[in-house]
Amino acid sequence: MDAGNQTGVLEFLLLGLSEDLEWQPLLFGLFLSMYLVSVLGNLLIILAISSDSRLHTPMYFFLSHLSFSDICFNSTIVPKMLVNIQTASKAITYGGCITQMYFYLVFLYLDHFLLTVMAYDHFVTICGLLALVSWSVSILVTLLHSLMVLRLSICTHTEIPHFFCELTEVLQSSCSDALSNYIVLFSVTGLLGIPPLTGILFSYSRILSSILKMSSTEGRYKAFSTCGSHLTVISLLYGTGLGMYLSSAFPRISFCHFCTPFSLHKCSFFVSST
């Protein structure tokens, strides 16, 4: 192990979106307003679904879980970011960083699984079980990532070119061998990401094929509007996530990851109105 390793590191430095002091008030106002709109919008969705018996269907059941997940996702990342901007501090404790990373991953995985099971909402008798499985797998997979990170030694140079403790950035701060962490990360991404996404695309290809065979123009329009909302949410989740990792060579361009939950909120509202 290198002499520069520090197993008892006290804090990380989140470099954020910009180090220009003139941008800080604008960033604070922008993200605060987006956060409040996102939380309020998702709370209204949950309240509408819970109070209207006509919305007690599998799709809206999963939608309420998705809205709750988005609130938690945003609340894991944005408040700390706002505090750092307001206090002109970039620090986050080691424990705080690991905790933030854990909950961020839990709700990111949960969004992924909920969108997957929403594509199969015709299994009306087991929707509660599917939601429970989504929560359980998200928590267990994230726990595995977090425990494997805790065994690593962190270098004294602990700057993270991001506004939150993203897993790959934390791994890059390690001075010990993180090969097993990357293997688990890519394996989990492959096993839990590609098959569900393939299933979603296959399911919707069959649905679209059936829609195109409809003779009624009104029926086709209604079906397209319902499926289109869900497909938009899926595109935003996977598209912005893929964009963030493909642009990893440009760490300053990191707005897209926050846009994922915020965009999910907006599309969730469109789904709820169809």
- Compute the distance between CA of residue 274 and CA of residue 266 in angstroms, rounded to an integer: 13
Please name which of 8, 166, 148, 141 lies closest in space to residue 73, comparing C-alpha atoms. Answer: 166
**Token pair listed for 166:** 């993203």
Q: What is the mean pLDDT of the chain?
A: 76
CB contact burial 97-116 (16+ within 10 A = b; e otherwise): bbebbbbbbbbbbbbbbbbb
* Segment (H or E) for 157: none
pLDDT tens digits, one per residue of 163-218: 888 888 888 888 888 889 999 988 988 888 787 778 777 777 777 777 777 777 77
Q: Which residues of the chain have pLDDT under 70?
A: 1-9, 120-126, 156-157, 219-220, 222-274
pLDDT tens digits, one per residue of 96-118: 999 999 999 999 899 888 888 87
Please give the DSSP secondary-structure letter assigned to residue 54. G
Phi, psi of 37 (to 5 degrees): -65, -40
Please name which of 207, 196, 18 lies closest in space to residue 109, comparing C-alpha atoms. Answer: 196
Q: What domains can you pick out in the chain, each with its CATH number?
A: 9-272 (1.20.1070.10)
